[in-house]
Amino acid sequence: MQQLLPALLLLILTHLPVAIKDLVAFDVKDYGAAGDGITDDTQAFADAWEATCRKAAGLPIMFIPGKNKFLVSPIIFKGPCKASNVLVQVEGTLVAPDSPSTWNFTDASLWIQFKSVDGLRLTSSGFGRFDGRGSNWWRQSCKLDPRKGCTSLAPTAVKFVQCNDLAVSSLQFINSPQTHILIIDSNRVYVTNLNITAPRTSPNTDGIHIHASQHVYIQDTIIGTGDDCISIGDRTSDIVVTRITCGPGHGISVGSLGRGGSNVSVERIQVSYVNFFNTTNGARIKTWQGATGYAKSMSFEKIRFNNVQNPIIIDQNYGAKANNYTIQQNAVQISNVRYAYCAGTAKTDIAVNLNCSQTVPCTDIQFDNVNIPVTSRGDTTRAYCNNAHVTTSGYINPPVMPCFPLKQSSDNLIS
């Protein structure tokens, strides 16, 4: 019972109406898991999950004990489960197979997936870890080595599909072959106190990606990877990201949106209290030309930049090289974006980059007390602006002013 104390704490934090006597634990070792990091424990995990998911009374708990390392091959934990809430408590380490050949006859996009499990709580006392062992995937990535036979799709470490009323807390995720956590088609998701790490050179290793989900809250999390710390995709709304440490990586991105000319709907995105360290981007919005739809009502507030290459960037020409830089008539309409109380240093002299569509301007872009005056070398910074309707208040440095469609690049650099 002492090992289950974190579960009891979670009950208190989430106000689940379950008495201690109603807790029922299903330990993966009781179902044959060796926990030596060598034996394949996938079947034991599948059996423990089946027992957990079919338990109707009380709060069923799938328990993964500490001081053990469990080798788990690709697996899907499917619902719906009989209980209204299901807890998976991870105290040990789950490790993925280290050879991509393991995925030869299965879905290469996933390692561990939870599907259609409402009321899921995935938690730990702080020692639970998912180790994707992605180095062999990275070596054959098309992004690093675009040769014939390279890999463009690698597994996501943990994927949540159609999981409503989901809570993920107090876990470590390291070295995923590709994205570490994917949240898709899920509503009312609460993520807190995670630590997500991978080398800065690891390709496409986003920390958390959100797609087609609403009411998602991410807080008190440390992320340093080879791609976006957090990326917010299409068909998302009411996303709150706060108290995040990001770096290394590509920053926090809304997008990319609209690839292939799709219709985009993104709104009510709030990002606040983020510290960016040595990232390629800070607060980024990126959309493809040729798309339609909107991305609106977004805010980036109380942000700190430390040696960030592009602290504030809107790029409506993302992927333009693939289209030979051809100007297209359609674009995602970006509007009502607020940057407030953002400060720090840039790695280059362009601290603010508003690269909006030639044909569909960015509108209602608000700057309120933004101060990124110098680079990390001490050089003065500038703002770049193309077809953005900007308003400012408070102290703004570098100056950011409304701008018209680009004619010459020098016309749009504001000293």
Q: Band of the pLDDT at 371, cuts 50, 70, 90? A: very high
Q: pLDDT-derived band of residue 147, with 50, 70 and 90 as boundaries?
A: confident
pLDDT at 403 over 90: no
Q: Answer whether residue 203 is part of any domain.
A: yes
Q: Taking phi first (over 0 means left), then psi (-120 to 50 degrees means alpha), and beta for anything else, what does residue 386 get?
A: beta
Structure tokens at 126: 């702080």
Q: Which residue has the tokens 């974190």?
A: 6
Cα Rg for the chain, rounded, in angstroms?
22
Residue 170 vs residues 3, 122, 215, 261, 323: alpha-carbon distances, Å: 15, 9, 20, 39, 43
Inside any domain, residue 171: yes
In a domain, 337, yes or no: yes
Residue 120: per-residue pLDDT: 97
Predicted local distance difference test score (pLDDT) of residue 88: 97
pLDDT at 236 over 90: yes
Cα 242 to Cα 234: distance, rounded to the nearest angstrom: 20
Scan for tokens 């029922």, then name that residue: 24
Please give the average per-residue pLDDT across 398-412, as a whole number: 60
Give the Cα separation of 317 and 325 in Å (integer): 8
Domain assignment present for residue 405? The answer is no
Would residue 314 count as lying in a domain? yes
Domain count, the chain: 1
Share of the chain above pLDDT 70, in %: 90
Comparison of pLDDT for 90 and 2, the residue scoring more: 90
Q: What is the domain-level CATH number for residue 245?
A: 2.160.20.10
Q: Is residue 262 part of a domain?
A: yes
Residue 188 in any domain: the answer is yes
Per-residue pLDDT at 359 exceeds 80: yes
pLDDT value at residue 143: 92
- Find the domain containing 206 and state its range: 26-319+331-397
32 within domain boundaries: yes
pLDDT surpassing 50 at residue 415 = no
pLDDT averaged over the chain? 92
In angstroms, the Cα distances linking 20 to 16, 61, 65, 199, 300 are 11, 12, 19, 41, 42
Residue type, 384: Y
Convert the pLDDT of each residue in 300-351 to its tens digit.
999 999 999 999 999 999 876 556 557 788 999 999 999 999 999 999 999 9
Least confident interval from 103-107, 226-230, 288-292: 103-107
Whether 211 is catalytic is no
The string over 330-360, giving b where at least 16 C-beta atoms fall within 10 Å of a residue's C-beta and e elsewhere, is bbbbbbbbbbbbbbbbbbbbbbbbbbbbbeb
pLDDT confidence bin for 405, thresholds 50/70/90:
low
**Number of neighbours of residue 404 by Cβ within 10 angstroms:** 12
Residues 214 and 183: their CA atoms lie apart, in Å, by 10
Which of 209, 211, 215, 250 is labelled catalytic? 250
